[in-house]
Homo-oligomer: A and B are copies of this chain.
Amino acid sequence: MKTNLSYIKYCLQFLWKFASQPSTKLLLTVICLPVLLVFISSAVGAKQPSDDLSLWQVYQRSLQQAKYVDLTHTITPQIPVWVGFGSSTFAPSVNPKTGKPYTYKTDGFEATHYDLSTDQLGTQLDPPAHWAPNYPAIDELPPTYTIRPLIVIPIQDKVTKNPGYHLSVADILEWEKKHGKIPAGSVVFVRSDWSKEWPNPELAKRKQFPGVKLEALKFLHLQRQILFHGHEPLDTDTTPNLEGEAWLLHNGYAQAEGVANLDKIPEAGALVAIGYPKFQGGTGGYARYIAICPPNWKYGVSVNQIPESPLPKAAKPLHWDEKLGVRVR
């Protein structure tokens, strides 16, 4: 840059010297000034790479004003889980040297030790490797499993009459009659309101619960090319051989289980953010699903509507509850 500028300066001085008449000097100025301005602006422009800020604009115009609704159950040692896995326990993290737990009072911090009997716990994402070892484990899902259009198909009225009702192709077609064709690559959650009783541990023992018919799963994947479906209960259906889950996982499809708050989401028009930790060779995912709903939607919170950073201070401090085996306020 400096060399270029010196060269320009030298040329201008040289020309100036030879332009004896004032009119020649004026002409020289009129010719040189625009050239100089173009040169300077392009030099400054080269210093500032042109960032592609289109995604930031998308955020500012659309995602920031959207309404965020959590579709995730809180994991505690008491939540419903299949009896075949046994229970999980939480404890304060311990200093291996002293064998004593770290405490806010003594150490200035706390951490948590989890003994989790299964990765099939709470709101989760089943990778196909849960049943089929030749298909991806939770850490092998591609990073494009991140944000998708969210469809909510309601069967809760039918479940009220028949607690063992299963989603059918007719229910899907009824949704499409109201909202249009399900976009390829979407996530489809089935609203049954089964989760309204969560965390009643009895839920995991019930033989009858709302499910999804195999024909519906095949229709969603083979005719509509969805990314994955999700349901509120801990299993896909009530057939003796779990035919729906078997077909999904043995054919390389993932599924969401234990999804919550589907009564707070529009049937069409929301997005879902999909998050889960990346445990190597994991056969289940402790997942986080957050629905991003249109700005005028009646439920949820928008960015800046609540204190986010700093977060609000609570009157009651967190402390370990020995009986519940979990940190509470």
Q: Please list the residues of chain A having a beta carbon within 8 angstroms of any beta carbon in chain B.
A: 47-49, 51-56, 58-60, 62-64, 66, 68-70, 72-76, 84-86, 90, 93-97, 102, 104, 108-120, 122-123, 127-137, 139-149, 178-179, 183, 185, 221, 225-228, 251-254, 266-271, 273-284, 286-288, 290, 292-294, 296-297, 300-306, 308-319, 326-328
- Residue from the list B149, B251, B282 in contact with A112, Cβ < 8 A: B282
Query: Which residue, A110, A146, A328, has most C-beta atoms of chain B within 10 A?
Result: A146
Instruction: Return A70 CB to nearest CB of chain B, in Å.
Output: 4
Can you pick out 6 interface pairs between chain A and chain B where the beta carbons lie within 8 Å of each other? A85-B111, A112-B284, A113-B116, A114-B279, A136-B314, A221-B309
On whether the beta carbons of A314 and B135 are closer than 8 Å, the reply is: yes
Which of B55, B120, B287 sits near A294, CB closer than 8 Å? Answer: B55
Q: Please name the residue on chain B nearest to A316 by beta carbon.
A: B134
How near does chain B come to A262, taking the closest CB pair, in angstroms?
Answer: 15
Docked-complex contact A86 and B96, CB < 8 angstroms: yes
Q: Are B49 and A55 in contact (CB under 8 A)?
A: no
Question: Is the CB–CB distance between B306 and A74 below 8 Å?
Answer: no
Q: Cα distance A227–B84 when bound, in Å?
A: 41
Task: Evaluate contact between A142 and B277: CB separation under 8 angstroms.
Answer: no
Whether the Cβ atoms of B136 and A311 lie closer than 8 Å is yes
Assuming A49-B178, A118-B112, A282-B112, is B185 touching A303 (CB within 8 A)? yes
CB–CB B328/A281 < 8 A:
yes
Q: Contact: A266 with B104, CB < 8 Å? A: no
